[in-house]
Chains A and B, each alone.
Chain A
Amino acid sequence: MATLLELEQRGDVVRFVPSLAWNEYEDRRIFLLPHAKDWIENVLPTLGSTWNIEISPEEQLDTLFYDFCSGKALAVGKRFSKLHPRENGIWELKTADLRVFGWFQPKDCFLVTACNGAEVIKHHKLYRGYCDDAVRLRNNLDLNEPKYVSGDDPNDVVSDCY
């Protein structure tokens, strides 16, 4: 069993480094499983927006991760939210074109298991598969118990969500 830091040292997870302004702090952290990082590095830059909007999927993810890490609100009221609970402690971060799956451990620390285009996921009905895969990866990760923060309210997993 290992801490998140030990997993990072082993290379089992990769830490995301946000590009913050000099007066900003990393209030929340993101780690990625290696294959998720590989997808973001190799596949994401090739994607165009399904909605044909100015901001590319890669730029959307950069902004999403920046908002997350710099402690920005991830939801405005109940109707505009970038963070959604799935099941079994799995959460989804979203942009117009992307869905990012993972879990929180500890609070304010998101471990990314997968990222893919929203349209692909919806068209091929892949939500269940990504959630099940995230649970499997979490179970197989040599992380200290408890492995995830439970609860389906965003306030359970992040500070200052609203």
Chain B
Amino acid sequence: MTQMTSFQIAIKPSRRAAGRFVSRVRTALQRALVEEGERRGVNQSKIAEEIGVHRSVISRELNGRQDITLGRVAELASALGREIEFALVSPKARDGQNVPLAKPEAVQVQNIHQFSKPVGPVTRSTEAPVMELTT
């Protein structure tokens, strides 16, 4: 007897977006730390010293056991020798796709930077805001 069942985690779209965005920011910081570590020996201790906190704070923040504020993201980026590019973009509208109308106060930005490794041509995504840490 066939009884194909499937399963989704039922959370609000806004909370789903929040979880994914936080994860992407954290991954960007981790990646920048690893890259700068290979390039010029930067480590969590040096970052902590530059920012003025204990190394364990940086470890908890980078491993997701402590929230990272927007200000701390900027501090970490600065300590890693990186700049931040940030964009809020309107979802790409496609024929036949239901796309929520942008609210009047939505920020319109010209440059779009895909955060994750693109598969094929880089295009606009319907995902939440993207962030990139660049040298």
Contact = CB atoms under 8 A, between A and B. Distances in A.
B64 A76 contact: no
Given A40-B9, A53-B66, A58-B9, A19 B16 contact: yes
Contact of A51 (B1, B27, B65, B116): B65
Contact of B19 (A32, A37, A55, A77): A55
B109 interface: no
B19 A62 contact: yes
DSSP class of B's interface residues: helix, strand, loop or mixed?
Answer: loop
B7 A17 contact: yes
Interface of B: 1-9, 11, 15-16, 18-20, 22-23, 27, 30-31, 34, 37, 60, 62-67, 92, 94, 97, 116-117, 119, 123, 125-127
20 contacts: A11-B3, A16-B8, A21-B127, A22-B92, A40-B7, A41-B7, A53-B64, A55-B18, A58-B11, A60-B19, A61-B9, A62-B16, A63-B19, A63-B22, A65-B9, A72-B27, A76-B30, A80-B34, A96-B64, A96-B65
